[in-house]
Amino acid sequence: MIKSVFVADLFAHQYTGGAELTTEAIIESFSDEVVKINSENLLPKHMENFKDYHWFICNFSAVSQENKLLIAKNLKYSIIEYDYKFCKYRSLDKHQAHEKKPCDCMEQSESKINLIFYGYAKKIWFMSEKQKQIFLQNVKTIKNENCEVLSSIFSKGDLRFMESIKNNEKNNTFLILDSNSWIKGTKDCVEYAKSNNLKFELIKDLPYHEMLIKLSTSRGLIFRPLGGDTCPRICIEAKLLGCELHLNDNVQHKDEQWFGNQTSCYKYLSERVNVFWNFYEG
């Protein structure tokens, strides 16, 4: 096993978002030495101290431009891309909504360092095929052969837990994620439920396993984001727990073959972390 450093804006013990849970599932499956560094705390001395490690760059909004260049010039690294960090809004759709014009971030002079940063990565792991294709269209320094779709990652323990509760008796309520994030489109989901006469309940800030139990006893999930959401974890959890899904095309993984049914989901997700680590051991 390789020695590795993970850099992220936040880790799961600091914030239990989908990206953070995926990062943690990758790390906890690894039995060798792992170092975690928050983006805002990254210093050149870390790069020197761990220069022989493989670096995994997760959400990196707080990594300075200078440190991106140092990483690109001096380290072996891969990027786990959860959204669209070549865009200042981290979303092409949000960019369009706020500035009333298509994203042109890659054409700006300050984006040259991002072009270098993505271009020098040994591997870029994406959450969905749609996301990967959007990157290939917009970030001209990356090559298809260095890109692979990883999808959201779940720990073996969480997959076992969901299998143990997936057949719980369900009520007639649809759940809607109550989020302040623009992209999650909570208001639109509520309007959708009302216009389709669906009984619904808003959920927010539940402990992770409590949320899974809530999904397992609910009829379904309404999740209709306002822009491209690369591989929203709650949709996968709902599928694994036998929920009826009301999604839109902004759920970017929804038409991938593995997501077709509950059985294929469990099989695919049980293999993904091995696909990830096997790449570095080959």
Among the four given CATH numbers 3.40.50, 1.10.3470, 1.10.10, 3.30.565, the one describing domain 156-269: 3.40.50
* H or E segment and range at residue 77: strand 76-80
Give the Cα separation of 269 and 231 in Å (integer). 13
Give every CB contact of residue 137 below 8 A, 6+ residues apart in sequence.
none
The strand pairing partners of 176, in sequence order, are 202, 222
Amino acid residing at 133: Q
**What fold, for 4-150?**
Rossmann fold (3.40.50)
* H or E segment and range at residue 201: strand 200-203
What integer pLDDT is reported at residue 176 of this predicted model?
98
Domain boundaries, the chain: 4-150, 156-269
Contact 190, 178 (CB under 8 A): no
What integer pLDDT is reported at residue 282 of this predicted model?
64
Taking only the tens of pLDDT, the chain with its 282 residues reads: 689 999 999 999 999 899 999 999 999 998 778 999 999 999 999 999 999 999 999 999 999 999 999 999 999 999 999 999 999 999 999 999 999 999 999 888 878 899 999 999 999 999 999 999 999 999 999 999 999 999 999 999 999 999 999 999 999 999 999 999 999 999 999 999 999 999 999 999 999 999 999 999 999 999 999 999 999 999 999 999 999 999 999 999 999 999 999 999 999 999 999 999 999 986
Q: What burial class does residue 257 get, using C-beta atoms within 10 Å of its C-beta: 0-12 exposed, 13-18 middle, 19+ buried?
A: exposed
Give the Cα separation of 64 and 40 in Å (integer). 8
User: CA–CA distance from 269 to each of 241, 242, 263 (Å)?
Assistant: 14, 15, 10
Give the Cα separation of 84 and 75 in Å (integer). 22
The strand pairing partners of 38, in sequence order, are 8
Q: Please, what's the b/e burial string for 37-72 (b: 16 or more CB within 10 A of its CB; e: otherwise)?
A: bebeebeeebbeebeebbbbbbbbeebeeebbebbb
What integer pLDDT is reported at residue 184 of this predicted model?
94
Amino acid residing at 224: R
Q: What burial class does residue 100 get, using C-beta atoms within 10 Å of its C-beta: 0-12 exposed, 13-18 middle, 19+ buried?
A: exposed
DSSP H stretches of helix in 35-108? 44-49, 65-74, 92-99
Asked whether this chain's domains 4-150 and 156-269 adopt the same fold, the reply is: yes
CA 169 to chain centre: 30
Q: What burial class does residue 35 get, using C-beta atoms within 10 Å of its C-beta: 0-12 exposed, 13-18 middle, 19+ buried?
A: middle
